[in-house]
Structure 1
Amino acid sequence: MQQVATEPRNEEFSLAERAYRAIRDRLVLLEIRPGAPINEEQLGQSLGVGRTPVREALKRLQYERLIATYPRRGTFATEVNITDLAHISEVRQELEPLAAAQAARRATAADRETLTALRGELDRADPRRQNATELLHLDLQVHRAVYAATHNPYLDDTLVRYDNLATRIWCLFIDRLPDMAGHVGEHGPLIEAIVAGDPERAAQLARNHVTGFERAVRAAI
């Protein structure tokens, strides 16, 4: 009798993680449009992986509310609902300052090196040469680096998911939000506060950033 594997091999784990990250960011940045059908075979071909890693990735993405599966209909990218903005902001207004403060307290030398490198990328960002998607990639990198620096896997996981949902809303109104570079550039002082080990300033800057995000989106509606 053939033994059924309960966990993938290490190689499959890495492929599933690679598939998860790639598909997640396509969904977050609306490269896969809201409501679009999810085709496992096409995704696997575009990523150069088999169906098993794609299926593992889709299970995680369904939990994160980025895709939804319907009986007899299939799997689709979830719609972006602007009415979710208030709920998402409510969570982020509490947790983003906490994460920034904890990052300022707990960041390792490696974390500070990563954040400092991102600070350099922010300084070099030029909206005349970079499109909005490139700036959004940088924005996501900064947020994820801050969350990782908290060294709290539960806080990190929660905030990555909520930041992903917020970014989808941002992408929906990208054409009506002219100051993308200014929004992304706000991370510069935040990174400086974290690297300097100033939790109070880091928390306040993070709170201001979330509040400003919600205000900008509401103004664009």
Structure 2
Amino acid sequence: MESSGKLSVMGESEVPARQDDESYAEYAYRVLCDELIVLDIKPGEPLNDDLISRRLGVGRTPIREAMKRLESDHLVVAYPRRGTFAAGVDITDLAEISEIRQLLEPAASARAARMASDRTRQELRELAREVRQLLADHLAQRDLMRLDMRVHRSIYRATGSRHLEDVLIRCDNLATRIWSLVLEKLPPVSEHIAQHVELLEYIADGEAEAAADLTAKHVTDFENLIRGVL
């Protein structure tokens, strides 16, 4: 059975609709990736092709394609004759992930500041205004986390480098899984998210050095935030 584009429901859980420009495999990947990142699918939980196929309204072949991609992202682990399971979250990975992000994220922000098109710069300015408005609404912690992910992905895309974007999304996904694991222990993270307003404006204005410096601070602040509750 293929997706109708409407919300599919299993129990009380709703899943987002498939976008018109998404293949079924891309749709399955997007939904499962999000659920794995925010730990709606718990570490170590088995992922059953048939159940997922029925829940998403997508055939098993696209599900298997999505699973292979998720495995390459280190979000699931496949064991012969046992099945596929959500990957564990190892807090000790935080230092290595942060080191990689410290090297690449400032470079990505600087590249975006140099390379972004006029249209992309306008989109980043609009996103900065939206972030400012959303922060005034006192969002819940999980909504703030999703907003952080959205901003990071917008910056990665603005680099114009598919390879850099792919690497950074993978690292950010793993970092956000750690964030999800300790989310309830964290103090309000609105100030951390608020750094994005200035960062987006720096990039939109072509201020590469300022964008890189603020990004480095943002990554360091994130690591310190997590370590503060471990």
Q: Would you say same fold, with TM above 0.5?
A: yes
Whose helix proportion is higher, 1 or 2?
A: 1
> C-alpha separation between the residues in 2 aligned to 1:14 and 1:100?
30
Does 2:96 align with 1:87? yes
1:153-209 deviations in whole A, cap 9, x for unaligned? Answer: 110000000000000001111111112212211111110100010000000011000
**1:86 maps to amino acid:** A
**2:101 maps to amino acid:** R
Aligned to 1:23: 32
Provide TM-score, normalisation by structure 1: 0.91
Q: Would the aligned equivalents of 1:114 and 1:145 in 2 still touch at CA under 8 Å?
A: no
Does 2:113 align with 1:104? yes
**1:181 maps to amino acid:** S
Aligned to 1:78: 87
Equivalent in 63, 71, 76 of residue 67 of structure 1: 76
Equivalent in 49, 55, 60 of residue 46 of structure 1: 55
Aligned to 1:181: 190
**2:115 maps to amino acid:** R
> C-alpha separation between the residues in 2 aligned to 1:12 and 1:179?
36
Does 2:142 align with 1:133? yes
> C-alpha separation between the residues in 1 aligned to 2:175 and 2:181?
10
Aligned to 1:204: 213
Q: Judge which range, 38-47 or 143-152, deviates more.
A: 38-47
Counterpart of 1:69 in 2: which secondary structure?
strand
Counterpart of 1:186 in 2: which secondary structure?
helix
1:106-130 deviations in whole A, cap 9, x for unaligned? Answer: 1112212322222122112247653
User: Gapped runs of 5+ residues in structure 1?
Assistant: 1-10
Aligned to 1:122: 131
Q: Would the aligned equivalents of 1:67 and 1:77 in 2 still touch at CA under 8 Å?
A: yes
Equivalent in 147, 163, 170 of residue 179 of structure 2: 170
Q: Judge which range, 43-52 or 184-193, deviates more.
A: 43-52
**1:149 maps to amino acid:** A
Does 2:201 align with 1:192? yes
**2:31 maps to amino acid:** A
> C-alpha separation between the residues in 2 aligned to 1:103 and 1:73?
43
**1:133 maps to amino acid:** R
Q: Describe the shift of the 1:120–1:43 C-alpha distance in structure 2 as closer, same or farther (beyond 3 A).
A: farther
> C-alpha separation between the residues in 1 aligned to 2:98 and 2:213?
15
Which aligned pairs between 1:145-156 and structure 2 lie closer than 5 A?
145-156=154-165
Counterpart of 1:125 in 2: which secondary structure?
helix
> C-alpha separation between the residues in 2 aligned to 1:13 and 1:82?
33
> C-alpha separation between the residues in 2 aligned to 1:156 and 1:148?
6
State the Cα distance separating 1:13 from its structure 2 match.
Answer: 7.0
Percentage of matched positions with identical amino acids: 47
> C-alpha separation between the residues in 2 aligned to 1:109 and 1:14?
29
Q: Would the aligned equivalents of 2:121 and 2:205 in 1 still touch at CA under 8 Å?
A: no
User: Gapped runs of 5+ residues in structure 2?
Assistant: 1-19
> C-alpha separation between the residues in 2 aligned to 1:129 and 1:190?
20
Aligned to 1:142: 151
Q: Would the aligned equivalents of 1:127 and 1:181 in 2 still touch at CA under 8 Å?
A: no
Provide TM-score, normalisation by structure 2: 0.87
Aligned length: 211
State the Cα distance separating 1:14 from its structure 2 match.
Answer: 1.1
